[in-house]
Structure 1
Amino acid sequence: MPAARESLLEAAGAALSARPWPSVRMVDVAAAAGVSRQTLYNEFGGKAGLGRALVRREADWYLDGVDRVLRAPAGSGDRLASLAEWTVRAAAARPLVRALLTGHWDGNLPAPPGRGARPGVPAPGPGELAGAVRDRAAEVLAAPDAAHRCELAVRLALSFVVAPARESGLGELLGLLRLLSEPSRTAGGR
């Protein structure tokens, strides 16, 4: 039931944006999705399974956005700056993405997959997500030191996620990233 599964994940995401995860009720999620509670339990096994699937979906959503940014026509420096901006904005807008990127999970969110006794495919940790982004950038950009420059861009962006700056601060980050992302003019002469 792919359609029911997606509807349930949409409904759970909407419920989570309105209230903390412990207050989200399965009967309300099922009703919002237009399916029975039994369908929810058949798809996810319960609230913990729904939470794990929601976390996994947010990780996939973030990485899909990374792919879109990296494949957009622009110079590699501009793409890395755009990637940093995407990371900061996605984390600001979506609490699960912020938790995935920082590793900070509070009681208002579903527990990430793979933590403790919760079975399932583990959610990627912050280092794994940064590594996945780095590897994707290296593949797409195919430039010398692309992986290293992407890692730098992502880690700088994560510093803004952890310690947010005013909006103009994001512009400063993007300008810095554009400078750092350009190949060194002296590197070839060494």
Structure 2
Amino acid sequence: MPAARESLLEAAVAALAARPWPVVRMVEVAAAAGVSRQTLYNEFGGKDGLGRALVRRETDRYLAGVDRVLGAEEGAHERMAELASWTVRTARAHPLLRALLTGCWDARLPLLVPGPRPEELTRAVRDRAAAALAPGEWTAYRCELVVRLALSYVVAPGGDAPLGDLGLFGPGRGLSAPIRTAGDR
């Protein structure tokens, strides 16, 4: 029942926005989705299964968004700036994603259920970015720096300036500049 499953997940997200996960009741989620409580249990097995499905869906949506941003027609610098800004905006708007990216879970969210750890998501985004950009121009290391910079803004917001306006992403500047080694100095 793909439609029932999606309706249940949407109802669970709405319930989670209204109250902490520990007080979300399965009967209310089922009623909000317009299905029976038995359908909810058939789909997810219980509240823990529903929590795992929410985590999986949030992870999948985030990675699909990463792919969408990286697949844009703009240049590599613009795509990386947009990836950083989009990650910050999305994590601020979605507490479950913020917890997945930072590892900072609070009592309002489902208990940490088996899912990707923050470092696994960071590596996944880094690898996707490195694969989507021109080889040699953006190394995996630089892609990871952009992801970590964005995560630092998620954890400790810094003003209203978009990350792309920080001057870090232009050719030959900031994160795009050649890495200098001790022998270069």
For 2:86 and 2:16, locate their aligned partners in 1 and report how far apart those are by CA, in whole Å: 22
1:184 to partner: Cα distance:
3.2
Gaps of 5+ in 1: 115-122
Q: 1:80 to 1:169 in 2, by over 3 A?
A: closer
CA displacement 1:90-114 (0-9 Å, x = unmatched): 1100000000000011111002322
Q: Is the 8 A contact 2:130 2:140 kept in 1?
A: yes
1:127 maps to 119
CA displacement 1:122-174 (0-9 Å, x = unmatched): x111110010001111111132143122101000111111111121264554x
CA displacement 1:1-33 (0-9 Å, x = unmatched): 111111100110111111111121111110111
For 2:14 and 2:51, locate their aligned partners in 1 and report how far apart those are by CA, in whole Å: 13
Matched, 1:158 2:151: yes
1:177 to partner: Cα distance:
3.6
Letter in 1 for 2:140: A
Letter in 2 for 1:27: V
Query: Of 169, 172, 182, which aligns to 2:176?
Result: 182
Q: 1:102 to 1:185 in 2, by over 3 A?
A: closer
1:119 maps to none
2:134 maps to 142
Letter in 2 for 1:129: L
1:105 maps to 105
For 1:125 and 1:185, locate their aligned partners in 2 and report how far apart those are by CA, in whole Å: 29
For 1:171 and 1:83, locate their aligned partners in 2 and report how far apart those are by CA, in whole Å: 9
Identity in percent:
66
For 1:70 and 1:161, locate their aligned partners in 2 and report how far apart those are by CA, in whole Å: 20
For 1:25 and 1:72, locate their aligned partners in 2 and report how far apart those are by CA, in whole Å: 41
1:10 maps to 10
My pick for the range that moved more, 136-145 or 77-86, is 136-145
For 1:85 and 1:152, locate their aligned partners in 2 and report how far apart those are by CA, in whole Å: 14
My pick for the range that moved more, 136-145 or 35-44, is 136-145
For 1:185 and 1:129, locate their aligned partners in 2 and report how far apart those are by CA, in whole Å: 25
* TM-score between the two structures when normalised by the length of structure 1: 0.87
Letter in 2 for 1:91: A
1:49 maps to 49
For 2:25 and 2:79, locate their aligned partners in 1 and report how far apart those are by CA, in whole Å: 41
Q: Is the 8 A contact 1:52 1:113 kept in 2?
A: yes
Q: 1:124 to 1:185 in 2, by over 3 A?
A: closer
My pick for the range that moved more, 176-185 or 39-48, is 176-185
| Equivalenced residues, count | 179
CA displacement 1:42-71 (0-9 Å, x = unmatched): 111111110111011111111111000000
For 1:87 and 1:138, locate their aligned partners in 2 and report how far apart those are by CA, in whole Å: 16
1:181 to partner: Cα distance:
4.2
For 2:162 and 2:5, locate their aligned partners in 1 and report how far apart those are by CA, in whole Å: 39
